[in-house]
Amino acid sequence: MIKWSDFENGVVNQLRRDIRSQSNPDQNRAIQAPLNQSLFVVAGPGSGKTTVIALRVLKLIFVDDIDPSSILVTTFTRKAATELRSRILGWGDQLRRSFIANRSYRHIKNQLRIEFNRIITGTLDSIAEETLGDYRAPGTPPPIVIENFVSNALMIRVGLFKHRRHNNQHLRDYIARLRGTSWGLNISEMSLTLREIKDRFYHDVINISQFRNNSNHPGVSVLCDAIDDHIQELGNRLLFDFARLEEDFLARLRDGTLNRFLQSIKFVLVDEYQDTNLLQEQIYFEIARTALGSGGSITVVGDDDQSLYRFRGATVDLFQAVQTRINNQLAVNQTIVYLSQNYRSTPAIVDFCNAFITLDREYQSVRVQNKPPITSARFHFTNYPLLGMFRGTVTQLAQDLSQFIHRVIHGGGLQVGDHQANQYLIEIDSQHGTPADIALLLSSPREFDAQQRPRLPLLLRNELGQLSPSIRVFNPRGQGLETIAGVQALCGLILQCLDPNSTVQSSLNLPPAVINIFDIWRVKANTYINSNPPPTTPRSLRQFVNAWLRRTPLNRRAWEREIPLIDLVYKLVTWMPVMQNDIEHLVYLEAITRTINQAGLFGNFGGQIIFDQNNPNLEQVSIREALWNIFVPIATGAIEINEELLETLPSDRINIMSIHQAKGLEFPLVIVDVGSDFRTNHPRHAFKRFPRNGGKTCNMEDELRPYSHLGPPQRNPLDRAFDDLIRLYFEAYSRAQDALLLIGLSTVSDRIPNVATGWDRNADWHWGNGLHNLIHI
Binding to another protein (CB under 8 A) within 653-692 occurs at 666-669
Cα 307 from Cα 323, distance rounded (Å): 18
Region of 217-225, 267-275, 291-299, 734-742 interacting with another protein (CB under 8 A): 734-742
Spatial CA neighbour of 767 closest among 355, 345, 383, 351: 355
Alpha helices in 600-630 (DSSP H): 617-626
- Of 79 and 766, which has the nearer Cβ to another protein? 79
What sign does the dihedral 198-182-659-449 (CA atoms) show?
Answer: positive
Q: Which of 597, 658, 699, 773 binds another protein (CB under 8 A)?
A: 597
Q: How far is the CB of 323 from another protein (least distance, A)?
A: 32
Interaction pattern, residues 608-647, with another protein; x per rule: CB under 8 A: ---x------------------------------x--x--
25 in contact with another protein (CB under 8 A)? no
Q: How far is the CB of 176 from another protein (least distance, A)?
A: 35
Q: Which of 1, 12, 108, 144 binds another protein (CB under 8 A)?
A: 144
Spatial CA neighbour of 274 closest among 370, 368, 369: 368
Residue 115 DSSP symbol:
-
How many C-beta atoms surround the C-beta of residue 581 within 10 A? 9
770 in contact with another protein (CB under 8 A)? no
407 in contact with another protein (CB under 8 A)? no
Residues 156-195 that bind another protein (CB under 8 A): none
Q: Which of 101, 138, 423, 469 binds another protein (CB under 8 A)?
A: 138
113 in contact with another protein (CB under 8 A)? yes
- Of 103 and 380, which has the nearer Cβ to another protein? 380
Q: How far is the CB of 264 from another protein (least distance, A)?
A: 13
Strands 667-675 and 438-442: parallel
Cα 680 from Cα 90, distance rounded (Å): 52
Cα 12 from Cα 5, distance rounded (Å): 10
427 in contact with another protein (CB under 8 A)? yes
Three-class HEC string of 345-392: CCHHHHHHHHHHHHCCHHHHCCCCCCCCCCEECCCCCCCCCCEEEEEC
606 in contact with another protein (CB under 8 A)? yes
- Of 497 and 710, which has the nearer Cβ to another protein? 497
65 in contact with another protein (CB under 8 A)? no
- Of 206 and 497, which has the nearer Cβ to another protein? 497
Region of 335-343, 397-405, 582-590, 680-688 interacting with another protein (CB under 8 A): 582-590
Residues 700-729 that bind another protein (CB under 8 A): none
Q: Which of 295, 411, 577, 712 binds another protein (CB under 8 A)?
A: 577
Q: Which of 16, 139, 452, 711 binds another protein (CB under 8 A)?
A: 139
Distances (CA, A) of 237 to 212, 602, 708: 26, 8, 29
Three-class SS of residue 736?
A: strand
Q: How far is the CB of 383 from another protein (least distance, A)?
A: 10
Three-class SS of residue 40?
A: strand
Instruction: Give the chain's length.
Output: 777
- Of 594 and 679, which has the nearer Cβ to another protein? 594
Region of 37-45, 114-122, 173-181, 675-683 interacting with another protein (CB under 8 A): 114-122
370 in contact with another protein (CB under 8 A)? no
Cα 721 from Cα 689, distance rounded (Å): 10
- Of 144 and 336, which has the nearer Cβ to another protein? 144
Spatial CA neighbour of 53 closest among 300, 378, 330, 345: 300
Region of 140-148, 169-177, 347-355, 690-698 interacting with another protein (CB under 8 A): 140-148
Q: Specify the amino acid at residue 575.
A: W
Distances (CA, A) of 720 to 286, 307, 321, 322: 29, 12, 17, 19
108 in contact with another protein (CB under 8 A)? no
φ, ψ (nearest 5 deg) of residue 729: -80, -25
Residues 736-765 that bind another protein (CB under 8 A): 737-739
- Whether residue 445 is preceded by a cis peptide bond, meaning omega within 30 degrees of 0, is no
Cα 671 from Cα 694, distance rounded (Å): 28
474 in contact with another protein (CB under 8 A)? no
248 in contact with another protein (CB under 8 A)? no
Q: How far is the CB of 277 from another protein (least distance, A)?
A: 27
Q: How far is the CB of 601 from another protein (least distance, A)?
A: 5
429 in contact with another protein (CB under 8 A)? yes
Non-local CB neighbours of 16 within 8 Å, separated by 6+ positions: none
Residues 252-311 that bind another protein (CB under 8 A): none
Q: Which of 128, 428, 638, 657 binds another protein (CB under 8 A)?
A: 428
Phi-psi region at 758: left, alpha or beta (left = phi > 0; alpha = psi -120 to 50): left
589 in contact with another protein (CB under 8 A)? yes
Q: Which of 65, 449, 652, 764 binds another protein (CB under 8 A)?
A: 652
Spatial CA neighbour of 151 closest among 262, 70, 244: 244
Q: How far is the CB of 253 from another protein (least distance, A)?
A: 21
Phi-psi region at 115: left, alpha or beta (left = phi > 0; alpha = psi -120 to 50): beta
650 in contact with another protein (CB under 8 A)? yes
Q: How far is the CB of 576 from another protein (least distance, A)?
A: 9
φ, ψ (nearest 5 deg) of residue 726: -60, -45
Q: How far is the CB of 669 from another protein (least distance, A)?
A: 6
Q: How far is the CB of 717 from another protein (least distance, A)?
A: 37
- Of 180 and 564, which has the nearer Cβ to another protein? 564
- Of 316 and 464, which has the nearer Cβ to another protein? 464
Q: What is the size of the binding site for another protein (CB under 8 A)? A: 95
Q: Which of 163, 172, 237, 624 binds another protein (CB under 8 A)?
A: 237
Residues 537-576 that bind another protein (CB under 8 A): 538-539, 544, 547-548, 552-556, 559-560, 562-564, 566-574
- Burial group, residue 324, by CB count within 10 angstroms (0-12, 13-18, 19+): exposed
Cα 616 from Cα 606, distance rounded (Å): 18
- Burial group, residue 145, by CB count within 10 angstroms (0-12, 13-18, 19+): middle
- Of 106 and 561, which has the nearer Cβ to another protein? 561
Region of 385-393, 422-430, 453-461, 697-705 interacting with another protein (CB under 8 A): 422-430
- Of 582 and 702, which has the nearer Cβ to another protein? 582
Q: Which of 5, 420, 509, 648 binds another protein (CB under 8 A)?
A: 648
- Of 601 and 721, which has the nearer Cβ to another protein? 601
- Of 209 and 604, which has the nearer Cβ to another protein? 604
What sign does the dihedral 345-351-354-360 (CA atoms) show?
Answer: negative
Cα 425 from Cα 382, distance rounded (Å): 9
Residue 147 DSSP symbol:
P
Residues 77-96 that bind another protein (CB under 8 A): 79, 82-83, 85-87, 89-90, 93
Strands 608-610 and 562-564: antiparallel
Distances (CA, A) of 644 to 77, 170, 485, 762: 12, 42, 22, 42
357 in contact with another protein (CB under 8 A)? no
